[in-house]
Amino acid sequence: DTGVSQNPRHKITKRGQNVTFRCDPISEHNRLYWYRQTLGQGPEFLTYFQNEAQLEKSRLLSDRFSAERPKGSFSTLEIQRTEQGDSAMYLCASSLGSSGGQLLKNIQYFGAGTRLSVL
């Protein structure tokens, strides 16, 4: 079991540049979630997918943010025209989703995150 994998682990970029992060979920998991965590705070939900369908987006997900999961496996999160306020840890999680029982549906396993610093 390889767990949730996120790349890159760290990204430093200049304001105005575009960045893209990748998440590879646990192989049999249908649901994939993106969260953002700033210093001293708990993670905040951004968006999630059931297979390739994006089911929900948070108000935090501005027009500069876009997420895809084209084949229902890995996902990418792109931030266009980055701002200093985008600096945060971006976390990906996956869960079994509808293929599991109620308890199993809610167990989300997190990757190590991508730390973004916008200069």
Partner 1 sequence: TQLLEQSPQFLSIQEGENLTVYCNSSSVFSSLQWYRQEPGEGPVLLVTVVTGGEVKKLKRLTFQFGDARKDSSLHITAAQTGDTGLYLCAGAPQAGTALIFGKGTTLSVSS
Q: Which residues bind partner 1 (CB under 8 A)?
A: 4, 6, 31, 33, 35, 40-45, 48, 56, 58, 91, 93, 95, 97-98, 102-103, 105-113, 115
Provide Rg for the chain, Cα atoms.
14
- Residue (of 88, 87, 86, 106) closest to 97 by Cα position: 106
- Nearest approach, Cβ of 58 to partner 1 (angstroms)? 8
- Nearest approach, Cβ of 16 to partner 1 (angstroms)? 26
Smaller CB separation from partner 1, 16 or 56: 56
d(CA 109, CA 119): 30
Smaller CB separation from partner 1, 55 or 119: 55
Q: φ, ψ for residue 104 (rounded to 5)?
A: -65, -30
d(CA 5, CA 96): 16
- Nearest approach, Cβ of 103 to partner 1 (angstroms)? 6
